[in-house]
Amino acid sequence: MANYAINPAVLKPYLPNGVEIDFYNNKTYVSLVGFMFKRTSLFKIPIPFLGTFEEVNLRFYVKRVEGDIIKRGVVFINETVPYKLVAWLANKLYKEHYIAIPTKNSIGHNGSDKSIKYKWKINKQWNHLVVNASKEKNEMIPGSIEEFIFEHYYGYTKINSELSQEYKVNHPRWQVNKVIDYSVQCDFKSMYGNDFSFLKNQTPDSVIIAEGSPVTVNWERTTF
């Protein structure tokens, strides 16, 4: 996950009604994320042939305050997968913002290190997010940027200017790896529009990586 500090005003058109931007050390972040879906199922039924695939997305961080309860979550600007059917289902069932373009990944191991590469093709050009990291797993430090980025367990979708949806994501607290070096090459303008084109020339504030785990997303969604 490559995390970029951004002017919160850029995110206001994408902010669902009823939630507010979440800050870390007085900064607002968007994250370019690469990860793998593995053995995906829908209503506990495995998706044949299409259950394992890459996703690349751009997201930002919000919170919803209900009395004494603070729900920390994410909003997706766009999510990219390789299969048109998966994108169609996600958009149809969940009102999300998926597109389908070619993607691929590679994961390599060399002694105590590992290399993870996600690639996606747009406008006939391959983009990439590459991280070389230690294989040693560590607990997240309380108050760290890793904890802020990963410990958001709700998703929020902007339906229109008045209505929003909330859903719950469930997974254990992830462990992280130390990043040794990284490379980001992304056509942010083509992927995410003019609002985010400036990120192409901006260095990430941080690049982090976590070990995966089983993840479930609650089917029930709350409209508010």
Got the DSSP string for 14-80? GPPTT-EE--BTTBEEEEEEEEEE-S-EETTEE-TTTSSEEEEEEEEEEEEEETTEEEEEEEEEEEE
Q: Yes or no: say if 76 and 87 are a contact pair by the CB < 8 Å rule.
A: no
pLDDT computed for residue 46 by the predictor: 66
Compute mean pLDDT per 10 residues along the chain, 224 residues long, and list them: 97 96 97 86 64 90 95 96 83 82 93 95 96 96 96 93 92 94 97 96 96 81 89
Parse the chain into domains and list their residue ranges: 2-101+139-173+194-215
Q: What is the DSSP letter of 197?
A: G
pLDDT computed for residue 123 by the predictor: 94
CB atoms within 10 A of CB 57: 22
Whole-model pTM: value is 0.90
pLDDT computed for residue 42 by the predictor: 64
Q: Yes or no: say if 75 and 15 are a contact pair by the CB < 8 Å rule.
A: yes
pLDDT computed for residue 87 by the predictor: 84
pLDDT computed for residue 140 by the predictor: 95
Q: Residue 108, SS3?
A: strand
Instruction: Tell me how far apart the alpha carbons of residues 89 and 94 are, in angstroms, rounded to a whole number.
Output: 8
